[in-house]
């Protein structure tokens, strides 16, 4: 073992007891700017020099370079340990010179790489999932299986995240015994630590002020106070996440809706299904991208929707015509008077089940709110933001919302 002396000032005091925590599952959550990522990056630098092999993951690979990679390399430099590592930014590997232990980086958008990734020496001992609320439960289970093999160190699965919303699988999986008054919960195999910006003595005064002056109740609850979010003015509350990958029935009659976008507004498309008997909406795939010209969008839709009908925002007839010329079965939404409020009220009467992989859709469900007047009173009018995927869902389910259309429509229904 390598003997290292860590200056006490290198970390915030709240994290020091957990430098050598050995529980299988470790959750570091709470508000923004609490120092969670900095602590975990520093711990990985020290642990790799002790022979631990770690896999660092996020939902999307390209976000690793500007987040975890930078945090780890800065931590090594801050401790004066950069020369102890070989850092290959092209391959995204960091190797300890003293023992060959490695930190490996991968995104969950490259599933095959995750399945085959292995350190040069020994077995994986650690997996750090940054922004863990972005990943699906099925991905978590697969990652958990990657921690196998003989090692001299106890294996650890570490999750760091802002808590976001109580319907998330992380809440149901790990927070059954949690109380909001707690700071820490420890069992034999699980550690949960909640921190906020108040625990970070390295934070700049203007950063503290920005968090303390947050007025939105939801954002203050989650990002300032680090609490699991419940949005008082949220339009949708009757929804939950569930792994839908094994529900073959959904593929029998998939429904597709599309809301056009390009630059500031993304193009949004959903794949969903409707169980009329149970009044249950399933959302199990999404497209959510900016900068898509109609020919580019058509190429994506050929893979995403195939030859199925795609019900599109009728405000763009030219785009619909172009998609049809490119071979997409694009149809205009019928809309009609009060179709927005009618569609929202209809959806609010259904149970909405969303696959955790639809992380953009989940976020929009959480953020989609009613407007307020100047006195702060809630109005029966939705905010015109965070709505593109919701609009796409309304278009996809348009026939289901109106029985007289559903009875005669040539479009596929449940």
User: What's the distance, CA 345 to chain centroid?
Assistant: 27
**Angle of CA points 379, 383, 385, to nearest 5°:** 170
- Bridge partners of 185, per DSSP, are 192
Decide which of 148 and 126 is more confident: 126
The rounded percent of the chain whose pLDDT value lies above 90 is 64
Res 111: pLDDT: 65
Q: How confident is the model at residue 232 (pLDDT cuts 50, 70, 90)?
A: low
Res 230: pLDDT: 63
Res 9: pLDDT: 75
Res 62: pLDDT: 86
pLDDT at 231 over 60: no
Mean pLDDT score, 109-130: 87
pLDDT at 165 over 60: yes
Q: How confident is the model at residue 249 (pLDDT cuts 50, 70, 90)?
A: low
Phi-psi bin for 344: left (phi > 0), alpha (psi -120 to 50), beta? alpha
Decide which of 171 and 85 is more confident: 85
pLDDT at 410 over 60: no
Res 343: pLDDT: 93
Q: What is the pLDDT of residues 282-319, one digit of tens each?
A: 999 999 999 999 999 999 999 999 999 999 999 999 99
Is beta strand 239-241 parallel, antiparallel or unpaired with respect to 378-382?
A: unpaired
Mean pLDDT score, 95-124: 89
pLDDT at 36 over 80: yes
Mean pLDDT score, 155-184: 88
Res 226: pLDDT: 93
Residue by residue, DSSP assigns 266-282 as PEEEEEEEEETTTTEEE
Whether the model clears a pTM of 0.75, i.e. scores above it, the answer is: no
Share the mean pLDDT of the chain: 89
Is beta strand 25-30 parallel, antiparallel or unpaired with respect to 190-195?
A: parallel
On whether the CB atoms of residues 97 and 4 are closer than 8 A, the answer is no
Res 3: pLDDT: 67
Q: What is the pLDDT of residues 334-377, one digit of tens each?
A: 987 788 999 999 999 999 999 888 989 988 988 888 887 776 66
Res 359: pLDDT: 85
Q: What is the pLDDT of residues 257-268, one digit of tens each?
A: 999 998 788 999
On whether the CB atoms of residues 63 and 14 are closer than 8 A, the answer is no
The rounded percent of the chain whose pLDDT value lies above 70 is 92
| Top-ranked range on mean pLDDT: pick from 114-118, 223-227, 261-265, 368-372 | 223-227
Which of 104-118, 175-189, 347-361 comes out lowest in average pLDDT? 104-118
User: How many Cβ atoms from other residues are within 10 Å of residue 110's Cβ?
Assistant: 12
Domains and CATH numbers, the chain: 18-224 (3.40.50.300), 239-408 (3.30.420.280)
On whether the CB atoms of residues 20 and 210 are closer than 8 A, the answer is no
Mean pLDDT score, 36-60: 96
pLDDT at 326 over 80: yes
Mean pLDDT score, 108-126: 85
């Amino acid at each position: 073992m390598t003997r290292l002396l860590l200056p006490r000032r290198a970390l915030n005091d709240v994290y020091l007891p957990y430098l050598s925590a050995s529980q299988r599952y470790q959750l570091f959550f709470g508000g923004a700017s609490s120092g969670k990522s900095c602590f975990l990056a520093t711990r990985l630098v020290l642990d790799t020099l002790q022979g631990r092999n770690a896999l660092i993951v996020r939902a999307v690979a390209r976000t690793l370079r500007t987040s975890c990679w930078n945090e780890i390399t800065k931590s090594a430099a801050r401790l004066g340990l950069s020369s102890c590592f070989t850092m290959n930014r092209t391959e995204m590997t960091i190797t300890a010179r003293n023992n060959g232990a490695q930190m490996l980086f991968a995104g969950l958008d490259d599933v095959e790489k995750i399945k085959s990734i292995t350190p040069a020496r020994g077995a994986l001992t650690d997996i750090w999932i940054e922004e863990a609320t972005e990943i699906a439960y099925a991905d978590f289970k697969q990652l958990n299986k990657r921690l196998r093999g003989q090692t001299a160190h106890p294996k650890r699965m570490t999750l760091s995240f802002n808590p976001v919303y109580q319907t998330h699988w992380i809440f149901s999986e790990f927070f059954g015994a949690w109380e909001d008054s707690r700071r820490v919960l420890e069992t034999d195999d699980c550690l949960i630590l909640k921190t906020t910006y108040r625990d970070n003595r390295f934070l700049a005064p203007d950063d503290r002020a920005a968090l303390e002056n947050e007025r939105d109740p939801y954002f203050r609850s989650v990002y300032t106070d680090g609490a699991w979010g419940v949005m008082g003015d949220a339009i949708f509350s009757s929804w939950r996440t569930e792994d839908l990958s094994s529900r073959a029935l959904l593929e029998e009659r998939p429904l597709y809706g599309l809301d056009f976008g390009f630059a500031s507004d993304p193009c949004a498309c959903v794949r969903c299904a409707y169980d009329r008997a149970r009044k249950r909406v399933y959302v199990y795939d999404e497209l959510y991208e900016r900068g898509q010209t109609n020919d580019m969008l058509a190429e994506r839709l050929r893979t995403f929707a195939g030859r199925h009908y795609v019900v599109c925002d009728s405000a763009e007839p030219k785009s619909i015509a172009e998609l049809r010329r490119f071979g997409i079965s694009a149809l205009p939404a019928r809309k009609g008077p009060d179709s927005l409020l009618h569609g929202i009220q209809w959806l609010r009467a259904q149970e909405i089940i969303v696959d955790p992989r639809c992380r953009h859709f989940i976020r929009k469900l959480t953020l989609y709110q009613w407007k307020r007047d100047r006195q702060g009173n809630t109005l029966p009018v939705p905010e015109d933001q965070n709505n593109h995927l919701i609009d796409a869902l309304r278009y996809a389910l348009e026939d289901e919302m109106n029985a007289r259309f559903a009875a005669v429509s040539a479009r596929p229904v449940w």
